[in-house]
Amino acid sequence: MATIQEAPPRPPPEPPTAHGGEPAHPPTSTGTTNVKLAIWLFIASDCLFFGAFISAYLLYRGRPQTGPKPQQVYSIPFTSVSSFVLLMSSLTMVLALAAIQRGDLRRLRIWLMATALLGSVFVGGQIYEFTNFAHKGLSLDTNLFGSTFFVLTGFHGAHVTVGIIWLLSLWGLATQGRLTQKDAEKVEIAGLYWHFVDVVWIVIFTLVYLIPPAK
């Protein structure tokens, strides 16, 4: 006697998909991916990291000391152009993200490379600035201004350099066809890091370069 087997129950419907089958909102208690949460936690902790160096700079700013003073070495026109370049790199970064979300991989590669190049111009400008300061007699151990300035801006430059390596890695993956529309979050994570580096520079440019010292 033949038995009638019941069909197995259907699995529940999948949540809406972001790109190519990945769940749009992963089943975590926060409703987002752990990697995105992690980059925001890193950014929060990096606020304290840069806060320490900015505070140290402000602490020793304007105190009597030997050696060159900020107003004797700064070139505001040069640094303004550097700041402009870094701001524009944030624009190219969001354009790269918009491109991968649309599935436009050609423009993704263009904007990723443009962002990396603009970042390289910024770091190149910083190296030129540091060399120029050294020729004017300011180095890491000249005085407290030199120590706090070089540590603060040097760590920022190191962050930008890490960002450039990250962007070039993404560009390499995109060139090999290993970065597609469903990997948009990878570009977004790199973008969050890049924009954070940009906002830190906005603070440094205002507090360190532009605000005149107390008389």
Partner 1 sequence: MTDIELRDEGRVPEPAAAAAAPALLPGELRPHPTPVQYVVIALILVVLTSAEVSLYYLEGTIPNSAIIPLLLVFGALKFGLVAAWYMHLRTDKKIFARFFVLGIVAAVVLYLIVLSSLEVFS
Distance CA 146, CA 139 (A): 6
Answer for which of 14, 40, 127, 162 binds partner 1 (CB under 8 A) is: 40
Nearer to partner 1, 117 or 134 (CB): 117
> ∠ CA 158-72-56 to the nearest 5 degrees?
45
- Residue 191 CB, nearest distance to partner 1 (Å)? 8
Distance CA 69, CA 78 (A): 18
Distance CA 61, CA 55 (A): 10
Contact yes or no for 213/73 (Cβ under 8 A): no
Distance CA 198, CA 89 (A): 9
C-alpha neighbours within 13 Å on the C-beta side of residue 10? 3
Nearer to partner 1, 91 or 134 (CB): 91
Q: Scanning residues 43 to 102, which ones bind partner 1 (CB under 8 A)?
A: 43-48, 50-52, 54-55, 58-59, 76-77, 80, 83-84, 87-88, 90-91, 93-95, 97-98, 101
- Residue 83 CB, nearest distance to partner 1 (Å)? 6
- Residue 7 CB, nearest distance to partner 1 (Å)? 29
| Whole-Å CA distances, 196 to 5, 125, 163 | 59, 19, 10
Nearer to partner 1, 145 or 205 (CB): 205
Contact yes or no for 18/182 (Cβ under 8 A): yes
Residues that bind partner 1 (CB under 8 A): 16-19, 24-26, 30-33, 36-37, 40-41, 43-48, 50-52, 54-55, 58-59, 76-77, 80, 83-84, 87-88, 90-91, 93-95, 97-98, 101, 184-185, 188, 191-192, 195-196, 198-199, 202-203, 205-207, 209-212, 215
